[in-house]
Copies of this chain bind each other. A is one copy, B any other.
């Protein structure tokens, strides 16, 4: 693009949309100018008018914004089920798209979005802001370099997504099959599932147990245990919950050349002088043992989160710089998530990609039995810029 900044329309000015508005309005994204905003609710439109510098256009619906605004790109921050229609419409109307995670509820929807991006030539990317965290970038670099050899196993305990009942009562769509299409897996975990794929590769099969309404009065799952298998033979476990306090966020990756553990804001590495596979078959010692010193993985300390994704998006449109995540990453995360649900619902291992029709049929049954809650939808003025637990 032959311009100094991109003109961005924001669709959905709730929790996340308003957060992005604040960041951009505060000058943290110098290559982005907010030129339009849309929300179904008047109080949010009022907030938007009062907080975003003129000139801005304000619309009641995303479709109105897409058709009337001449912005370059839209940022989609509406509930998951609305992603596909808005993203497709935006791209078909000449606008690039940055969409909140997850890409969509169903892999079919995410695939459709990717196809439209390919067809229209419009950029499509997703808010996988945890990829900007230096801890995960550091692990990605180390694993990509090959210095730890092949991965044998990963265990990720992600139980620091604590939510009270009040959280689930704050929106009528929240934690319902009809309104959200899932629980902790779909709302909180897309980041970790995306990172899991980014760091360890796409699993070939999953076996999951999803407990619905275990810790809260909700109809969707709030407690998940998954066993994963990867193409190269590596295995993994993924544990998530919104009902544990204080939770844990501990990622362990065991490799042929040692192990990597990320917890409490640091990544520790234990590096072997030799490939374990060679030790196994080469050593004369039945109980071979070694205790390599742990070292802290050095990083650049940068963790720009949403701002990093926004700035990369602008730089990509303006100069072709790399995005934080490709559109296929959004699709992959949805494929993994759908497979975990299907395994949880059927009680059986699921080979990836899951049978989309079966997944959708079962989701439809869940949705048919879903009770959208009554009550006011509340927009919280939360700070999502940090790296802490609220970052969803």
Contact = CB atoms under 8 A, between A and B. Distances in A.
A82 interface: no
A192 interface: no
Given A237-B237, A237-B239, A287-B163, A349 B349 contact: no
A382 interface: yes
A388 B272 CA distance: 19
A225 B226 CA distance: 10
Q: Copies per complex?
A: 2
A364 B287 CA distance: 30
Contacts of A279: 164, 245
Contacts of A244: 152-153, 254, 259, 276
Chain A: number of interface residues, binned into ranges? 35 or more
A257 B271 CA distance: 36
A392 B289 CA distance: 14
A80 B105 CA distance: 51
A123 interface: no
Interface string A58-95: 00000000000000000000000000000000000000
A156 to B, nearest CB: 11
Given A155-B157, A164-B288, A280 B215 contact: yes
Where chain A touches its partner, the secondary structure class is loop
Contacts of A265: none
Contacts of A163: 286-287
A166 B284 contact: yes
Interface in A82-114: none
B225 A211 contact: no
Nearest to A242: B280
Nearest to A388: B289
Contacts of A162: 287-289
Interface string A245-284: 1101000101000110100000000101000100111011
Contacts of A259: 244, 246, 248
Contacts of A152: 243-244
B281 A165 contact: yes
7 contacts: A157-B252, A164-B286, A166-B284, A209-B227, A216-B280, A225-B237, A246-B291
